[in-house]
Amino acid sequence: MYRARPARNNRTVAVKARPATGDDAAQRFRREIEIHRSLDHPHIAAFIDSGCVSVGGAGAANKGTVRYLAMQHLNGGALGGRLQNQSLSVENACSLLQPVAMALHHVHERGIVHRDVNPSNILLSEDGQAHLIDFSIALGPDDIPIGDGTLCTPAYMSPEQRGGEGTDPRSD
């Protein structure tokens, strides 16, 4: 992830970039972009732009095409970082996670399963509002998993994910 400021609007964004190759990782990234683009909820990091750019000019050691996803920049850090430094009361945890639950409901209404809900994938805005991010292993209603399923965060995997079974909204 990179922080960037596009010249056209001077708005800080978060940019996720991957080489635009034909492998599983590139295919997953294209799917992540499609899924993220389809979601519009105040507690999901807002999709801003995506595309491909050529990198490396003549004589450059690293030439190629890079696919990118630009999204809302949230500068309050990840919930995981906050939990390492402080504990949350039950009341604070509930008020922080209720909007994430509403975001997941929005995701699930569209037939999408996130499959990696964990404190690292919940970012906080400057005012402390929680936002869901990272749809890199999410599946839509007609998707077949790409890769071997080892991309989840093991400590947060549902039992059915661990067992290699299918996932549904209950898995999140």
Catalytic residues, by residue number, are 116
Which of helix, strand or coil describes residue 81?
A: helix
- How many angstroms separate the CA atoms of 13 and 129, rounded? 17
172, 169, 170, 132: which is closest to 152 by C-alpha? Answer: 172
Which uninterrupted H or E stretch holds 68?
Answer: strand 64-72
**Which CA distances in Å does 40 have to 35, 105, 157, 169?**
10, 12, 25, 18
The long-range contacts involving 35-39, CB below 8 angstroms and separated by at least 24 positions, are 35/112, 35/135, 35/138, 35/140, 36/69, 36/71, 36/135, 38/110, 38/112, 39/106, 39/107, 39/110, 39/112, 39/135
> What is the 8-class DSSP label of residue 32?
H
